[in-house]
Structure 1
Amino acid sequence: MKINKNLVKLNENFASKEEAIEFCGKLLVEGGYVTPDYVPAMIQRNEELSVYMGNFIAIPHGTDAAKKEVKKSGITIVQVPRGVDFGTEDDPKVATVLFGIAGVGNEHLDLIQKISIFCADVDNVVKLADAQSKDEIVEYFDFDL
């Protein structure tokens, strides 16, 4: 799967994690990857188990029950320079890069794994957070997702 440049957004800002997750979901809807019913399932998924993965990244995705809302596998990458907090006041977990994903079957697991491996190196996350163009971000993911 190649990254669709239209689903890469730079310099976004969100007041809450819910707003950030909804933004990722709407991009997936607009791209034809999921139905609108997938978006609330993304928020529910985060309520059940945080989509914050560490190293300043979050991977919003839907619940297992929402798999029927996925039309085709897709990914959106959203840069949030000021960060968005996925934690609590006592335990902040700030994400500066969001990967909204939807996967047919178990493809979401492959997407999460490949994103996690790439972002395990915090230098890679910094490159994404500092990227000045969509092309630059797409180049970092010029491998099979």
Structure 2
Amino acid sequence: MGILDMFSKKDDEQEEKEESTILTKDLIRLNLDPMDKEEAIKLAGQLLVDNGYVEEEYVEGMLEREGTVSTYMGNGVAIPHGTNEAKQYIKETGISLLQFPEGIDFGDGDVCRLLIGIAGQGDDHMEILQNLATVCQDEDTTEELMTTSDKELIMEQLI
């Protein structure tokens, strides 16, 4: 059972199918070229917009949050998310994942290789942050997420 199982939603007609709607292949971008952190946050947010998880305004909330406090968690991972005020623009809980093998500058000497954008309704937000932080503390798992070209593997690790 993966860490995000509590957010998985089953299709009523296919009980055996356990595909999460919080993270799909459409929300994952691998082997991206370096860009500045604002562009990366916008891309993570835009994936959530394009897939119906949030309204455009939520992306601005993600950038505002980053402007007040860095969402870099350590171990090459950043987890940008919107401000409390931006929560009103969340339609459904979801995460996006961007992989930067060469890393991107997150300021203060921090290099992000894995950026996970979060949009969590209600209490989902804190639970997702805690669960992702736990997974990303494991250096072997994190390294695998940062280097794989297999979206299925990423989903298996996080779901």
Give the TM-score band, short-chain normalised: over 0.9
Deviation at 1:140, TM superposition (A): 0.9
- Identify the match of residue 142 of structure 2 among 114, 120, 125: 125
Aligned to 1:13: 33
In the other structure, the counterpart of 1:26 is 46
Amino acid aligned to 1:129: M
C-alpha deviation, 1:123, in angstroms:
1.3
Q: Using the alignment, how far apart are the partners of 1:11 and 1:39 within structure 2?
A: 22
Partner of 1:38: 58
Consecutive unaligned residues in structure 1, runs of 5 or more: none
Map 1:1-145; keep pairs closer than 5 Å: 1=7, 2=20, 3-87=23-107, 91-142=108-159
CA distance in 1, matches of 2:104, 2:94: 22
Bigger Rg over Cα:
2
Residues 31 and 149, structure 2, Cα contact 8 Å, conserved in 1: no
TM-score (norm 2): 0.84
Unaligned runs of 5+ in 2: 1-6, 8-19
* Cα distance in 2 for residues equivalent to 1:42 and 1:4: 20
Task: Give the counterpart letter for 1:59 in structure 2.
Answer: I
**Cα RMSD (Å):** 0.9
Q: Give the C-alpha shift of residue 15 in structure 1.
A: 2.2
The corresponding residue for 2:17 is none
* TM-score (norm. length: structure 1): 0.92
